[in-house]
A and B are shown apart, each in its own frame.
Chain A
Amino acid sequence: MIDNCITTINSFSNPLQIDRCENTISYEVTQNLDAFTLIKMSNHCFNLYKNRLGNISEPTYEIGSLEYDSIHKTLIGALASYKPKNLSFSISSSNPSLHFIVRLPENISIFVETYINPEEENSTYLQILNDEEPLLQAGGTYTKCLNEMEDKLADIFPDVQKTYVAI
């Protein structure tokens, strides 16, 4: 059925919908974030929030910074092939943790939280959701969670050609 209200035009390769009845213009920006851009976004957030670790203690800052350095590179390296639409990072100071949110196409979201504790081994919690439905909940070491995430994503996106991204 033809909608007499809506006209679609292409503007800089993005479809722009003009709705004359509602008097609105809408468009969806299709972002393609490469590994280099994702690293820049992650580091931008880390620099903004890293003092939260320093305010707890020097060992927490040192361990947290080392963990961040390792986690953000391996996580982005593992996800870059899936064309992430967004990445965000923040730090919790109450029970110190490093917290990543990555949004992938097809309503897939990934939450990774690594708790920093100078007195014991760090532990990670990972969840993959399709919109609101949990597809994977994993806990334990970061490496174990990363492996489980990679296996699950290979199931979710069977057509994605996984390439190793060196960072």
Chain B
Amino acid sequence: MQAFPQQLISTKDNTKKISETISKNCTILRRTNLDEYLTPYDELDVELIRDIDLFRMSANVLLCKRDELGLDNKIKHVNIVVLEGENCKFNGENVISEAKLNKIKAELKETLILGFKIDVIENIKGPYILGKGTKKEEELNYNIRVTYDPLVLNCFHMESVIICSETGEEISRSKIKGFRKAIASDIKVKLMNKKRVEIYNYEDIA
């Protein structure tokens, strides 16, 4: 266990600065539970991209201009896990008090970190069939939207969601069955085909 890094606490100032800085060239980071990412034959291990994570994926942004902005935005921050303490959405007012901050327990994971360029993720799209084999069968399309979503204890928090292109509604993260499996498989193909991921080894960035 370790003390919680203060630079991750959301405030009105830092969330405004981050929000204005995020661009499509920035990377979103996601922690994994893996130590290796390639199979013995040099392809990505499918375990790297978990189906359930694709539907409402929590991530941290790695800002492109982090040094110029004076923001302490490190890759390894995504591997910090809050063990005790609530981490709710930041609404601009609910800055955590120092007394509460002192009670927070955190752990730094030592596993591989996965990165995706925002524009790579947002360019993924494809068809799917809703209600396959029923009278209400419908051919639709999906796309992915990445948004800034600061949390009280994580000012770099982002979220990506899968959207139905025709309705603009989120395809929810319920049990991955039927058309959700097809969407998850399609996204994995698009990421694994050209290995469109960035991998950071904990030991290299700590």
Question: Residues on A close to B: CB < 8 A?
Answer: 41, 44-45, 48-49, 52, 86-95, 97, 99, 101, 109, 111, 113, 115, 123, 125, 127, 129, 132, 134, 137, 139
Q: Kindly identify which residue among B50, B182, B186, B194 contacts A94, using a CB–CB cutoff of 8 Å.
A: B50
Question: Residues on B close to A: CB < 8 A?
Answer: 39-47, 50-53, 126-127, 132, 176, 181-182, 184-186, 188-189, 192-194
| Residues of chain B lying within 8 A (CB to CB) of residue A86 | 41-43
Whole-angstrom CA separation of A127 from B186 in the bound complex: 8
Whole-angstrom CA separation of A48 from B43 in the bound complex: 14
7 A-B interface contacts by CB (under 8 A): A45-B39, A45-B41, A86-B41, A91-B47, A94-B50, A95-B52, A111-B188
Q: Kindly identify which residue among A92, A99, A115, A132 contacts B193, using a CB–CB cutoff of 8 Å.
A: A132
| Residues of chain A lying within 8 A (CB to CB) of residue B42 | 86, 88
Most chain A CB within 10 A, of B46, B52, B186, is at: B46
B54 to chain A, nearest CB (A): 10
| Residues of chain A lying within 8 A (CB to CB) of residue B50 | 92, 94-95
A94 B52 Cβ-Cβ under 8 A: yes
A91 B46 Cβ-Cβ under 8 A: yes
| Residues of chain A lying within 8 A (CB to CB) of residue B182 | 125, 139
Whole-angstrom CA separation of A92 from B46 in the bound complex: 6
| Residues of chain B lying within 8 A (CB to CB) of residue A97 | 46
| Residues of chain B lying within 8 A (CB to CB) of residue A132 | 193-194
| Residues of chain B lying within 8 A (CB to CB) of residue A115 | 181
Task: Report if A90-B45 is in contact (Cβ < 8 Å); known contacts: A45-B39, A125-B185, A127-B185.
Answer: yes
| Residues of chain A lying within 8 A (CB to CB) of residue B132 | 139
In the A-B complex, the 9 residue pairs with the closest CB atoms: A88-B43, A125-B185, A94-B50, A99-B46, A95-B51, A88-B41, A90-B45, A90-B46, A88-B39
Task: Report if A93-B43 is in contact (Cβ < 8 Å); known contacts: A109-B193, A111-B189, A111-B193.
Answer: no
B38 to chain A, nearest CB (A): 9
Q: B39 — nearest CB in chain A belongs to which residue?
A: A88
| Residues of chain B lying within 8 A (CB to CB) of residue A48 | 39-40
